[in-house]
Amino acid sequence: MENQQGTNETLLYAKGIVHDVNNLLMRAIGYAQSAINVMDATGLDSKDLHKAMRATERAGGLVSQFPDFLEHVDQPRKNIAINGVVQEALDMVAASLSSPVKTHAHLDSPNDIVYADENQLFESLLNLLTNAVEAMKGKDGTLTIATREIPVELEGVEAMYLGLKPRDYICIEITDTGCGISPSLTERIFDPCYTSWEDRQGSGLGLYMARKIVANHGGNIVVESKEGAGSSFYVYLPIAQAAA
């Protein structure tokens, strides 16, 4: 009874925080929209404000899912074009860069429709891209993201290595020229609350949540890395049956 009461109180507290944060975000969106209206009326470029407002809307969507996460409630899904979500996540990360990191996108998969919760996949991609930037530690580097269609047809070595069922997938490849990861840490980086950074930046939950979200969508994340030579994260998501 005490445990149940504690859980209910935690859930009520979380819902209260979500309500208050969303109120603040809605005010921020309102201020941004007012500024956009003024800028548009005077012929000024409001593109960056539109992006800021979109980022705020994304934050609101993620915050609103928190109580459902605590209650293990599945979010509604729909068919989405993942290339657009990938580009939006990359644009958001690129806009916040203070280091001399170059970004490149090669979104070449024409068949990019996945059945998914868009906010959750956006969160996953944002975590992976942020991790890639942090791996370059403020130095010159290159962050590249690409998409392509991958058929997984075999039950043998390929399917076992990727941890996937045979079907068509879209592969999102995120590559950085950062410090790389030692073989002994390659699997541990997905553990909850684990961080490999010496200064212990962040919560260590980013990569854990990224893989958890992708796994809940029937996919997987595979990493290839070499110390001193950068890393590549391969995100596999099943292509929607209607589009396959």
pLDDT values of the chain reduced to their tens digit, one per residue, 244 residues: 545 555 566 666 566 666 667 667 777 777 777 888 888 888 888 877 777 777 777 777 767 666 666 566 677 899 999 999 999 899 888 877 766 889 999 998 889 999 999 988 998 998 899 889 888 877 789 999 999 998 877 555 566 667 788 889 999 999 999 988 888 787 788 887 656 555 445 445 678 889 989 999 999 999 999 888 899 999 999 999 754 4
SS3 call for 42: coil
pTM, full prediction: 0.74
The helix, strand and coil proportions of the chain, stated in percent and rounded to the nearest 5, come to 50, 20, 30
Report the alpha-carbon distance of residue 165 to residue 155 in Å, rounded: 8
- Hunting for tokens 């690409």 — which residue is that? 146
Report the alpha-carbon distance of residue 193 to residue 57 in Å, rounded: 27
What are the backbone angles phi and psi of residue 21, rounded to the nearest 5°? -65, -40
Radius of gyration of the chain (CA): 20
Report the alpha-carbon distance of residue 114 to residue 36 in Å, rounded: 33
